[in-house]
Amino acid sequence: MSLTAALTAYHLNRRERICTFVHVGKHLTSIQERIEPTQGSREVPSKIGVLGGVVYNRNAELLTYILGVWCRPCSTTPFYNKGERTIMRFMQNLQPRYPLLIVLLVLLAACSPIDSIGGNPTPTATPKPKPTHDPTRTTLEVCPAPLDSNPNCYTPRAFRQAYDVEALTEQGFTGKGQTVIDIVSYGSPTLQQDMDVFDKQFGLPPITIQVVSPLGTVPYDPNKKDMTGWAGETELDVQIIHAIAPDAHIVVMTSPVDETEGTIGLPEFLKLEQYAVAHHLGQIFSQSYVASEATLAGSAGQKLVKTFADFYKQITTQQGFTIVSGSGDNGATDWANIAATKLSPRPTVNFPADVPWVTAVGGTTLRNTPPTYDESAWSGSGGGMSTFFAEPAFQKSMPSSVQSELAGHRGLPDIAGDANPETAMVNYIFGHWTQIGGTSASTPFWAGIVAIANQVAGHSLGFINPALYKLGASPNAQKDFRDIINGSNNVDNGNIHVKGFQAVQGWDAVTGWGSPRASQFISDLIAAMK
């Protein structure tokens, strides 16, 4: 799935108001398919461009719809950054398709989102509370401006605390001696320098990222949306891995080909992964790319999927590899065509998360509700039943209510983590602080968890799926997982209505078994694999 970025400065008035976004996320549908009819106090324009539109609501507020986001412009600061393009010029170069990664970035000026970003729109505005500044809080606990007003913006330490990773960090379990391999197209020209800023801000140990490009490289062109999108994806991945497992080594493997829908770019990714195995680069693959099963249904797609699956079976069961892959960001469906301009009207899941030898990672919304955290399903979380793969043995132990849903097919995701961009860990990308969401964020999070688990175990755990389901079915499951019981991945985007799945007690096709309570989870995971 191609990862493209639209770095957009929307000049409502050259001297007055702007909204600035970066949207790095694959293949959102056209706006006509995403926006709702008029609801509440919001007016919706009858005609709107592929990327955005402007309208006044009944309260005479000027609202803009940019890249899937309703925004209430709120900055009166003029914006004259020569490094950015105005939306009018940028729209000429964009196609109505975006990558797996879904991003809200507020650059240089603040914006109030009207709807949640990614997943399905909500009908009314929900003002964000602004916490009172506490001077006793350090930069390890507070997101940099302008994100410091968001109570659900997490620093690396706060994010580790939310998932009980910090207790392991304090014991010295930081992924030391482990290597995570991140598979991407192109990479990022600012990867190391942005990581250095990120580390310095939050007191993380410095890291030198190893970039390996056995298939060659192509010159980076900031005018190409596929390259800017992959650059953002790459930086997101490595910063989250490093935040969770600060002493793990990270290898970024880059392909010179843009992976999109169908088979495009997948043969190159397979070559990268084969190279990594042959050259012993690491034991954990983090994959934030996806391709809809609907675009791989042809003979060429099926042949390639089988080749991947056979390879994954070999390396996970025989060579100690763990593979984590995002389940997608379009809820219970995904793209119906190679151009990624039309969502399937039927439930659809994504490759490679559908492969039984892969651990599929779904998405949640993590809210800071002191003294604890509240976690619900993120509506964009990909999930459902594969049409390619039969139900694996490790899922056959689930109760009859789940078996009736699976109907003999591989169900996904297996587990989940925070994927809502409004409740995300902070990142430093393209020289700006931002929050990024999508299962492109929850996947490297889990890669970091596996790195710590490997360190604690003293060896690579390899294929963890059977153990995950063993823990989920145990009487002590609540000690290992934060079970997500609220929310769904129903799709209701304009003309596309797909009935998805509800988050329920136990496993579900939105968040799997839920998110980890890392300290207990890792201990029990290791025991379950013996």
- Which residues does the chain have with pLDDT short of 50? 1-136
Whole-model pTM over 0.75: yes
Amino acid present at 432: H
> 450-485 pLDDT, tens per residue?
999 999 999 999 999 999 999 999 999 999 999 999
Sequence-distant (6+) residues with CB within 8 A of 181 are 251, 253, 273, 276, 281, 282, 284, 285, 286
264-275 pLDDT, tens digit each: 999 999 999 999
Q: Are 105 and 22 in contact (CB under 8 A)?
A: yes
pLDDT, tens digit, for every residue of 74-96? 322 222 222 222 222 222 223 33
Phi then psi for residue 315, to 5 deg, are -75, -30
How many residues in total does the chain contain? 530
Measuring CA to CA, which residue among 74, 281, 289, 78 is closest to residue 181? Answer: 281
Judge contact between 368 and 376, C-beta under 8 A: no
SS (H, E, C) 94-145: CCCCCCCCEEECCCCCCEEECCCCCCCCCCCCCCCCCCCCCCCCCCCCCCCC
Q: How far apart, in whole angstroms, are the C-alpha atoms of residue 153 and residue 159?
A: 9
Contact call for residues 377 and 327 (beta carbons, < 8 A): no
And the tokens for 54? 């402007």
pLDDT value of residue 60 = 34
Task: Please give the structure tokens belonging to residue 15.
Answer: 């001297």
Q: Are 258 and 175 in contact (CB under 8 A)?
A: no
**Separation of CA 101 from chain center:** 5
Maximum Cα interatomic distance, the chain, rounded to a whole number of Å: 65
Neighbour-count burial of 80, counting CB atoms closer than 10 A to its CB (0-12 exposed, 13-18 middle, 19+ buried)? exposed
Contact 77, 110 (CB under 8 A): no
Strand duo 491-493 + 5-11: pairing: unpaired
Q: How far apart are CA 58 and CA 330, in angstroms?
A: 30
* Residue 243, number of CB atoms within 10 A of its CB: 25
User: Please, what are the domains in the chain?
Assistant: 5-113 (no CATH), 147-528 (3.40.50.200)
- Give residue 433's pLDDT: 97
User: Rounded to the nearest 10 degrees, how much is the dihedral formed by the CA atoms of 182, 5, 232, 160?
Assistant: -100
Distance CA 108, CA 90 (A): 18
DSSP sequence for 261-304:
STTTTHHHHHHHHHHHHHTT--SEEEE---EEGGGS-SHHHHHH
Calculate what percentage of the chain has a pLDDT beyond 70: 74
Q: What pLDDT was estimated at residue 139?
A: 64
